[in-house]
Structure formats: C-alpha cells, structure tokens
Structure 1
Amino acid sequence: MISRKADWLHERLGTVVLWVLLIVLESAGQIATKVGGDQLGQMDFNLQWLLAVAGNVGVWLAIACYFGAFFVWMLILRRSHLSLAFPLSSLVFVGVLLGSWLWLGEHISLLHWVGVAVIMGGIVLLAGGEEP
C-alpha cells in the first residue's frame, strides 16, 4: 500500500514540476519576445529587419523557450486529459503578467489583478473536479 501512495505522490510531483517548467518557459518566451522586439525598434519588414531579427539574442532566447515548452507540453499531455490541461495552461497569463511587472517594470492595474484572481479561482475549480 505504501508503494502505491509513493507512486501516486511521485507522479503528482512530477506533473507539478512539468507545469512549473511550462509556465516558466512560456512566460520567459513571451518576455524575451517583447524585449527582442523592443530592441529591434520601429523597422520596416524587409531583409534588413529579418537579418536584425536573426541576430537578436532576445529572439533566440524566445525561440529556445518555445522549443522547450513544446516538449514539456507533450509530456504534460501524456499525463493529463486535454480538457483539463488546456484550461490550466491559462496560468501562463499569470506568469506573463507577473514577469512583465517584475522584470519589465510594467504597471499592472487593479483590474488585471482581479483577472489573475479569477484565473486562479477557475484553476482551483478545475483541479477540484479532477479524478485521481
């Protein structure tokens, strides 16, 4: 019986780690895209712009984050039902909001914080209905 509980805990912990990794990678990818875009400035879409994009560290960091997030997402979907996993992916909105506030110094309005609370409440409701 102990082995079964340990297996359940190990699987749950692994899933939580994957979710944290997904949220971090997706949020970092969005923030890196924003930083890369800001570094490029107001350029016309042409060959010069494409070359500037290709040499931008923020863009490459974003690509790496999205690449990693894709594989983490695949692992999450192996463990979860899509009907639960996809709504839970809305936690990325919370990660991006917090990241843009902490690292980019963006102002977050009270309405945005209320939105975070609504998302978190929805996550609690979804997780509460999950079958073990």
Structure 2
Amino acid sequence: MRRFYLFGFLLLMAFDTLAQISFKVAGSQALPVQASVAWLLRVFGQPWIYGAVVGYVGAFFTWMALLKHAPIGPAFAASHLEVVSVMLLSIWLFDEHLTVARVLGAIAIIAGIVCLGLAESREQPPDDEPAPARV
C-alpha cells in the first residue's frame, strides 16, 4: 500500500505542477489581460492552456483514486506539495527569486505533511489486525 501512496502522491504532484506551470506560461503569453473576446482567443490559442486542462483532469482522477484508500488528513496535506514543486520550478523556468519566507513556507508545508503522516501511522492498526469498531 505504501507504493500506491508514494506513486499516487507523486503523480498528483506532477499533474498539479503541470497545471500551475502551464497556466503561468499560457497567461504570460496572452498578455495584456483584457475582458474581451480577443483576449480569450489569445488564451485558448496557447498550447499551454491545454497542458493546464490535462493537469487538472489528471489531478482530479488521481485525487479520487487516492481518497478511496488514503487517510484524509495526510492526503489533504500531501496534496499541497505542488506549492513547493511549483516554487522550485518557477525559480528555474521564470527566474523567480527564492526568499526566506518562501523557504520557511516550504519547510512548514513539508513538516506539516510529515507530522500528519506520523500521527496517522500511529493510529493505524497493523495490516493483520482489524480496526477497532467506532461508536
């Protein structure tokens, strides 16, 4: 089951990252932003907008598959790892700057996921032992 979680969350992070990066590229290539049909045509004329659609559709189906098995607390927290991956890729792709606040935020996200995962693993019974009945 751990392989399922590992693969699932890596796939979710990849789809979410693809969606965010694709939106950023498509949006930056469709500037200036205007409330017009011409602007919408520029946006949908960018191939990256379809990468965003693929990313969100893939993330949705991956998330639904993960929710069938993963505990909701750690799963919800881990689903936000794309914030860290997008930040790191933005440094490389868009020449964005890494600041102390961003590093501290990334550390807080990762620490929160680790804490929730550890707490959940302590509450889970071993695989061969049935879970206690809840009232």
1:61 to partner: Cα distance: 0.8
Matched, 1:46 2:36: yes
Deviation digits for residues 20-75 of structure 1, max 9, x if unmatched? 01111101210110010000011412111121222111111111111111111111
Partner amino acid for 2:41?
Answer: L
For 1:82, the equivalent position in structure 2 comes to 72
Q: State which drifts further: 96-105 or 65-74.
A: 96-105
Secondary structure at 1:108's aligned position in 2? Answer: coil
For these two proteins, the number of residue pairs brought into alignment is: 122
Deviating beyond 4 angstroms after TM superposition, the runs of 4 or more aligned structure 1 residues are none
Q: When the two structures are superposed, what TM-score results if normalisation uses the length of structure 2?
A: 0.84
Q: For structure 1, which runs of at least 5 residues remain unmatched after alignment?
A: 1-10
For 1:15, the equivalent position in structure 2 comes to 5
Matched, 1:128 2:115: no
State the identity %.
33
1:84 to partner: Cα distance: 2.6
1:83 to partner: Cα distance: 2.7
Q: When the two structures are superposed, what TM-score results if normalisation uses the length of structure 1?
A: 0.86
Secondary structure at 1:101's aligned position in 2? Answer: helix
